[in-house]
Amino acid sequence: MASRRVTQSAINWAAIAERVPANQKTSFGSFKAKSDTYIRAVLANPENPPKIDWAHYKRIIPLPGLVDNFQKQYEAIQIPYPKDNLGGQIESQIKETKTEIEAFKKGSETRIVDYQKKISHLSSLLPYGQMTMEDYRDAFPESALDPINRPTFWPHNPEEQLDYQSKEQEGAGH
C-alpha cells in the first residue's frame, strides 16, 4: 500500500452530528476540534521533506567522504507506511453487525404487525367505561373473573388465592 497525502477530512461531520445524542454534543464538539487541529497540523507541513543541496555541503565541508556518507545514509532511510492489521477484523465486525441489524429489523417488523393487530382489536372493543362484565369477559377471557370455571376468593387478586406461590417459592421449587 502506497502512502498518500490526506488533503482534507473524509468524514461527513454533519451526518455524524445529526446522530449524536444531545447529552454527548460537547464531547462530540471536543472530538471534532481535536480532529480539525490534527488535520491543520498535517496540512501545515509540506507533503515531501525539503530537498537537501548535497553539492553545497560537499563544497563547504572539508572532510572527504563525510557528506557522501551522510547522503548515502539519508537516502537509505525508508519510513514504511503502517500495515493494516485490523481491517479484516473490522470488516467482519461490520458484516456481523449488519446481519444483527437486519435480524432486529425483521423481528421489529413482526412485532409491529403483532402490535397493530392488538391495537386494531382494542380499537374494535367498546370503551371500558361502557363495558359490562360480560363484555369484558368476552374481550379478555384470560383475565376476566370466571366464578364457574375458575372460582376465586375475595379480593380476587392472585396473592389471596389458594394455589398462589410467590416468586421466591417458585424459584425454590416448592
Q: List per-residue pLDDT tens for the chain, 174 residues long.
A: 445 665 566 788 899 999 999 999 999 999 999 999 988 888 888 888 888 999 999 999 888 889 999 999 998 988 888 888 888 999 999 999 999 999 999 999 999 999 999 999 999 999 989 999 889 888 888 888 777 777 877 887 888 888 888 888 877 765
Cell numbers 362484565 correspond to what residue?
Answer: 133
Question: Cβ distance 33 to 13 under 8 Å?
Answer: no
Give the span between the Cα atoms of 24 and 32, in whole angstroms.
12
**Which residues are CB-neighbours of 160 under 8 A, at least 6 positions away?**
152, 153, 154
SS3 of 86-121: the string is CHHHHHHHHHHHHHHHHHHHHHHHHHHHHHHHHHHH
Query: What is the model's pTM?
Result: 0.43
